[in-house]
Structure 1
Amino acid sequence: MRLPRPAAVLMSLALLVSCGMAVAATDTLNAVQKRLLNSAASAFAQGDYRPAANALPELENTYMGPWVGYWSLQPRLKSVTQDQYQRYAKHYPSGVAHHLLRQQWLAELAQRKDWSDFTRVLQAGSIPDLISLRCDAARDPLLSTSMVVAPFFLWSGAAANDHACNAMARVYLEQGQITPPELWLRLQQMYEASAFDAALRFAPFLPAAQSGQLAPTVTAPAAWISQQIQHYGSNKWPTGQTHLLVLALLRLAATHPAQAAQFVRTLGVLSSADKSLVLYNSAYHATLSFRSESGHWYAQAYAADPQFRPRPQLLAWMVRTALRDGNWSMVEQATQQMDAVQRQQRQWQFWSAVALLHRGHTQAAHTLLAALESPWTYYGQLAMATLNKPLTLKPGDPPAPTEARATPGNNAPERTAITLYHLGLYFDALTEWDQFLKGLNGTAEIKAAAQVAFQHEAWLLGIHASSLIRGGEDWQQGYVLPYAQKINAAATQTGLRRAFLAGLIRQESGFAFGIQSDVGAQGLMQVMPATAQWLQTHVAAAANADLHSVSGNLTLGSHYLSLQQQHFGGSELLAAAAYNAGPGAPQRWLNRWTPPPGPWAGPIFTANIPFQQTRHYVQSVLTNTVVYAAILDQKPQAIWPQWRLGEVMGQTQ
């Protein structure tokens, strides 16, 4: 689930009108203060700082004071002064709101190139975790170089399009502290990430013979390569031209992978590592569109240089391609190339076990699968299914609890998070809540925190707390079902399984009925206004449904989900994919590649969903569904049927 953040929170700061020495915060709010708080929060969500500024004198010494001060500052980042920030920091020297404000203020100071104030703010606290701010610190001329890591190490660890880190790199390139080989390596990383515009800004730092040729490797790579072959032949090029050749081939791999692979076969100037690099990238881009050649190119990439270690993303898709092809040897080959951290991820452990199973190593496979078994994770459930074990509630486990009434909380951060939640500032509530949870000790305290959240009907916060319990052993807390009667009614009306509907809502919104995504999706089922309008026009039962009410949102969302499930032959898996990515996406993927019938069709199709967000979404919804089915039906659940693809391309599975 993407957690929405009001537009004003993304980038801004404002004038703090009232401040003073920090005093003990009051732990209750009177009626006037509550009204002022609601007005300030509502305005802040719309980017307006003024109600918070007006309310601050009344609220600054309450437990919500740091946040009201933040709301009065944040929406006008461009006009704030260092003195105004310092007064806020003096009054509220710690806490989540100050942490957020400090990060945003540092970013603004770096943008202004106000290194004097940047240095002062940075040295007043810990070095920020954000790599962008660490890059800003690295280019601060007033800071000692001993305060930062080696510039290339920092640069190479950042996203290819990170503006701050690229700006830092240009400073160090001018000083000669990033070497030419390091620049070529970073450009290669940028081309692999398709960050071509960012890469072109580094052309002036290349040797003169190559500087003017960088742009053609992006705009017309095939033509540039052909011209160079005419000039130099196929076997011996100057070193700088060879570097450019690798970049041009990486660019070509992203758009015309077959052409890139063909050049690799004919160009003797490439080293075995360069050939492997280009072929891995060709295979990767080809497999995202389900091209049948991708498995062949992966095999060629490995054969070109078995010692070459491609980046983790390429190996991940090598496994997924091998699953599509039923090439279990390649699954093992790809996982063996992974580094220790990637190899230990549950998904690759699982597929390694399946590869062992298909290759006749039953005992080794069962040992791996047994270690992965879990009712709480997607691959844990798949491991249980592979071992022919149903998901069964432990004896004596009661069903999920009903909604409870609120009871007072005594912990200030806990109370602050719950207050933010009910003000509709879900991102800030989760940030405050997560910081509070980090200070707890052990399962008992986390369970108690979750229970307080549920008592206050802060369902998303309680679910998040429960997810941190090692092993996820608390069914009641982790899988609450608020709005149970309305969910049951919507499921009955549309023919959906209530466990499926509940599982999807848990992933979409965490049962936070007022949540809104950054693209405008609304409510429990995150329905887009345009979708709601279409349903109100075309589905009689949804004609009068109110997008912004609990019942209306459920009516609209459940009808849309039901339409997707009907379209995809009853498959909950494909319905979930369509609900997240749009109905055209799974149909397009199926048209390009249809899995053969059998129990593995669903999991292998899911593993090959090209969009990471949709892939994880489907896995989470299906996992939630099985757990809710076990709770609601109070009987063991067979796991394989949850992942069937239904009637696909004329085949029933």
Structure 2
Amino acid sequence: MSVKNSLTGLGLSVLMVAGLSMAQPAYAAKSPKSFINDDDRFMALRDAAFHDDPEAAEQHAAALRNYDIPSYVDYYRLRPRLYKASNTEIREFINKYEGSAIADRMRNDWLLLLGKRGEWDLFDQQYPQFVVADDNQLRCYALLSKAVRQQKVANEARNLLTAPRDYGEGCHALVAFLADNGQFSQNDLWSQVRMAGENSALSLAQRLAKLMDVSEKRVAEAIEKPSALLKKEPDSGRAAHELFIIALGRLAKNDPEQAASILSRFSAKFSDSERALAWAQIALQSALKLEPDALGYWVRAEGAPLTNEAYQWRVRTALREGDWKLVKNTINAMPASLKNDPAWIYWLGRALKAEGRQEEARTLFNSIAEQMHFYGQLALEENGQKIGAPLASRPVTAEEIAPMEKNPNLQRALKFYAMNLRMEGTREWNWELRKMNERQHLAAAELARQNNLLDRMVNTSDRTKGELDFSQRYPTPFNESMYKTTQSLGLDMAWVYGLIRQESRFIMNAKSHVGASGLMQIMPATARYVAKKIGLGNFVPEQVNDIDTNIALGTNYLNMVLTDLGGSQALASAAYNAGPGRPRAWRSKLTRPVEGAIFAETIPFAETRGYVKNVLSNATYYAALFEKKPQSLKTRLGTVVPKGMSASDAELP
């Protein structure tokens, strides 16, 4: 969901919430409770399992012997005592429900235990059978198992260990083993510590540094109190220099200019490679703050090994400053896994086109132009075409939908959705989709439509590549209310639908972890402010979930930020997600007019960056459907100009 905000005038301040668990009431497992029916008791069983209360879970499960989803009763009975359960008991559960989503979930849980215990024979037997295979810790444990058997895995580990916040115990154990056994050098370990520092992962940085006998106190000073460490020149020795470099990056989060000044003062104390590393630390933070000086810092960082995040921000800095040569060189230097992302394929094509290498650029654009996303649309336009709604496939028939209505896994998913258990419902729904061809995907999407699960309809239909139904992918519920409201405001209805598709996927009662509600995900303070502005008398917070009220409040607010930001849909979409103050600040850092696509690409918040791209991509398809003619995403993105300059003054190459 969006990074939503409390409203003061048209300025929003971000409400950062660390996690759902902080907002949960204390669990009272022993308190007496009456149950209306078995579904009610199942919810209590689930709650006991998630709060690691095996006694309560056993009590509830015993009373659910005839429940119509026995696999989940058994799972939630076993889950809170998994650490004490025998491998035989866990295996019996998996064998009993083999081939089901919940058996795969249990295998995931079991593999984590096996990895932690170092039971590698059993781990290696079970890991290939883990179907979803989406757990980064298990990937680390799988490499650790190979390393324990004296296989060389250092290169695979380097490619995997790029996102410290996802490490967990398994990835730390992998790093520690590789360091102990000579597969990871000090360069590898310090690279990991620097990444942890970049991600504010203090505890991880301390654990990693401890592998090199560097004290927790010294690491904490570099990450939490960089100014104190940087007051004097660095001591001699590898650890002192590395911690000084990390401290420079941490200081640069708030003041890159000061960090650059300190590095320049003590430059002679470092080797050429250390200096490049230090400039890369400063350049990344300067780039995230959209400072024009970042380009110069990146130049000084030439030759430094970069993290995936740093590679991407080096390109974004170059885009913002119009340095196409640096765009090309940086993308070409990226690891293959990153370079092959559609974003960097597109921007490399643009860099080649800027050099006059038209055929090479066209080849890159052609490779992604049929993909239905932001970069595919932009690539299509680079090849001189516009964006339209493709010809619809033959509509699914009642005969094709009938097996979906009888499918036990889909029916189980529908039951979970009816109980508002979206995690379980989505697990079951997606598990069944794995077995389906594209016609069956469209039929399942239609089943979702019939059950008013528009988010499932959209997500299911989105999976197809040859069989396409845009009425499923881009639905228009509440069309009459939406048309009336947008017409009265002079607001682009395609854009509003594009925003709703991204905000809530048309879940009517959607509520984010920060309290945003309904189709248009409106925060309570925003709702009160807009209600007052538009003269909605006697407004009470509960009204925000009324469809017509939610649409009225959301569209009026969207219109306010659009007006405030000069009519730019790119800026206004960013404002709806992150608050109007932020896009104004991002625009204020511009040194020249930029394409809307470049502005979107260089938004510092990852969530907002993806949000703006998706909203405007959605809106372009909706417009093609509404107007029944091809559209231009580039036109919709427009040009973003520095404050004080009008769009008519902007002259882009």
Alignment equivalent of 1:187, drawn from 168, 184, 193: 193
Partner of 2:10: none
Q: Is the 8 A contact 1:160 1:193 kept in 2?
A: yes
Matches within 5 A, 1:50-449: 60=66, 62=68, 64-70=69-75, 77=80, 82=85, 92-93=97-98, 95-101=100-106, 103=108, 115=117, 126=129, 129-132=134-137, 145-146=148-149, 157=161, 159-161=163-165, 162-165=167-170, 168=173, 172=177, 181=186, 182-202=188-208, 204-207=210-213, 213-221=218-226, 224=229, 227-228=232-233, 237-265=236-264, 266-302=266-302, 305=303, 308-374=304-370, 376-394=372-390, 409-441=405-437, 443-449=438-444
Matched, 1:530 2:529: no
Letter of the 2:544 partner, please give it.
L
Letter of the 2:164 partner, please give it.
A
| Cα-Cα RMSD | 4.6
- Partner-residue secondary structure (3-state), 2:164: coil
Provide closer, same or farther for how the CA distance between residues 399 and 554 of structure 1 changes in structure 2, counting only shifts above 3 A.
farther
Query: Deviation at 1:506?
Result: 1.0
Provide closer, same or farther for how the CA distance between residues 72 and 503 of structure 1 changes in structure 2, counting only shifts above 3 A.
farther
Query: Deviation at 1:472?
Result: 7.3
**TM-score, structure 2 normalization:** 0.78
Matched, 1:481 2:485: no
Letter of the 1:457 partner, please give it.
N
Query: Deviation at 1:627?
Result: 0.6
Could you give the per-residue CA deviations for residues 417-441 of structure 1, whole angstroms, max 9, x where no partner exists?
A: 2332333222332222222111223
Partner of 2:607: 613
Q: Is the 8 A contact 1:6 1:518 kept in 2?
A: yes
What is the distance in 1 between the residues matched to 2:122 and 2:27? Answer: 18
Matched, 1:629 2:623: yes
Letter of the 2:577 partner, please give it.
N
What is the distance in 2 between the residues matched to 1:159 and 1:136? Answer: 16
What is the distance in 1 between the residues matched to 2:71 and 2:123? Answer: 18
Q: Which runs of 5+ in 1 are unaligned?
A: 16-32, 232-236
Give the total of aligned pairs: 610
What is the distance in 1 between the residues matched to 2:432 and 2:347? Answer: 37
Q: Is the 8 A contact 2:41 2:60 kept in 1?
A: no
Partner of 1:547: 544
- After TM superposition, the structure 1 stretch with the greater mean CA deviation from structure 2, 313-322 or 643-652, is 643-652
Could you give the per-residue CA deviations for residues 525-578 of structure 1, whole angstroms, max 9, x where no partner exists?
A: 222233323333443247547222333322332222222222222222222111
Query: Deviation at 1:119?
Result: 9.8
Q: Is the 8 A contact 1:400 1:480 kept in 2?
A: no
Query: Deviation at 1:104?
Result: 5.0
Q: Is the 8 A contact 1:45 1:425 kept in 2?
A: no
What is the distance in 2 between the residues matched to 1:487 and 1:147? Answer: 63
Q: Which runs of 5+ in 2 are unaligned?
A: 4-16, 30-34, 648-653
Query: Deviation at 1:361?
Result: 3.0
Could you give the per-residue CA deviations for residues 482-534 of structure 1, whole angstroms, max 9, x where no partner exists?
A: 33233323323443222111111111121121222222322222222333233
Query: Deviation at 1:580?
Result: 1.0
- Partner-residue secondary structure (3-state), 1:637: coil
Provide closer, same or farther for how the CA distance between residues 310 and 121 of structure 1 changes in structure 2, counting only shifts above 3 A.
closer
Query: Deviation at 1:634?
Result: 1.7
What is the distance in 2 between the residues matched to 1:565 and 1:81? Answer: 57
Query: Deviation at 1:624?
Result: 0.6
Provide closer, same or farther for how the CA distance between residues 167 and 301 of structure 1 changes in structure 2, counting only shifts above 3 A.
closer
Partner of 1:23: none
Partner of 1:564: 561
Query: Deviation at 1:276?
Result: 2.2
Matched, 1:640 2:644: no
Partner of 1:30: none
- After TM superposition, the structure 1 stretch with the greater mean CA deviation from structure 2, 390-399 or 116-125, is 116-125
- After TM superposition, the structure 1 stretch with the greater mean CA deviation from structure 2, 628-637 or 475-484, is 475-484
Structure with larger RCO (C-alpha < 8 A, sep 6+): 2
- After TM superposition, the structure 1 stretch with the greater mean CA deviation from structure 2, 353-362 or 617-626, is 353-362
Provide closer, same or farther for how the CA distance between residues 56 and 628 of structure 1 changes in structure 2, counting only shifts above 3 A.
farther
Provide closer, same or farther for how the CA distance between residues 254 and 119 of structure 1 changes in structure 2, counting only shifts above 3 A.
farther
Q: Is the 8 A contact 1:356 1:362 kept in 2?
A: yes
Letter of the 2:442 partner, please give it.
K
Matches within 5 A, 1:462-611: 462-470=457-465, 473-541=468-536, 544=539, 546-593=543-590, 595-596=592-593, 600-611=594-605
- Partner-residue secondary structure (3-state), 2:527: helix
Q: Is the 8 A contact 2:588 2:642 kept in 1?
A: no
Query: Deviation at 1:299?
Result: 1.7
Provide closer, same or farther for how the CA distance between residues 449 and 395 of structure 1 changes in structure 2, counting only shifts above 3 A.
closer
What is the distance in 2 between the residues matched to 1:52 and 1:190? Answer: 41
- After TM superposition, the structure 1 stretch with the greater mean CA deviation from structure 2, 41-50 or 252-261, is 41-50
